[in-house]
Structure 1
């Protein structure tokens, strides 16, 4: 190992991934036990409820999933009558996704669960620390997006 590099566990990206894995596991369990949804389905329902109408590509971006995962989750939500699929006005091959009446009700429960999970995860930080962290994340996300566009 190189003397000038810190140990793996000291890298921010490693720690973010670790936090993500830990929180995803608990969130997935909560989605399943409290709502009867898989994590991908819950993320997609949250995105559709918030940003509808969405194409599958837009859904993938909003739910932070790849297109195949978003497509499978959307299809499961359609099969459960939580999401309606309609032809896209601007793309004959595309579809748009919107929540059904029962989907809107479950969306509200998903959002309450997300809110509770955020309170659980970030509850160890003061309100001021949480605002600072939000600012840091906003800056990091904007920076990563700029880098993504440039490359």
Structure 2
């Protein structure tokens, strides 16, 4: 029997997932090891530090985290005094999330280090490679947005 399945290493979804995971792990070294945040906590802090308030639905949609992951990460962040959570008055099924001053200060301490690590990794690529990557990611996102699941 002939197997027409391509090698896993040549399968685009696999390659994309591996590259994204490796990049994410590299950044986790900064916000995780240096600041004690999980990937999910970092994603929430990143969004919340830049907004006045966000609903639980918005957080789920903008972070690729499901409701359970948002709930658990936000509970840990609230326990650390980095965010607040409250019930949305217009829809009691939703929660409102906001960053505390302590959370914003932590974000301000972490973000330059994450940016520096990102630059360090991307600088290993040629300028042409970075341009191709940016163009390819935009094209992929545009294609996915044209036909959302």
What TM-score range do you get, normalising by the shorter chain? 0.7 to 0.9
What SS does the corresponding residue of 2:50 show, helix, strand or coil? Answer: helix
User: Is 1:14 the equivalent of 2:14?
Assistant: yes
Superposition CA RMSD, Å: 2.0
What is the aligned residue count? 148
User: What's the offset of the Cα at 1:129?
Assistant: 3.2
Task: Determine if contact 1:49/1:99 at 8 Å carries over to the other structure.
Answer: yes
Q: Which residue pairs with 2:113 in the alignment? A: 113
- Unaligned regions of 5+ residues in structure 2, if any? none
TM-score, normalised on structure 2? 0.85
Residue 45 to residue 19, structure 1, CA distance change in 2 (3 Å): same
Q: Which residue of 2 aligns with 1:48?
A: 48
Aligned 8 A contact 1:42 1:110 in 2: no
Higher helix share: 1
Take 2:36 and 2:146, find their aligned partners in 1: how far apart are those partners?
37
* Structure 2 counterpart of 1:137: 137
What TM-score do you get using the length of structure 1 for normalisation? Answer: 0.84
Q: Deviations over 1:117-143 (max 9, x none)?
A: 321321222344323322221221121
Q: How far apart are the structure 2 equivalents of 1:67 and 1:87?
A: 15
Alignment match, 2:64: 64
Paired position in structure 2 for 1:28: 28
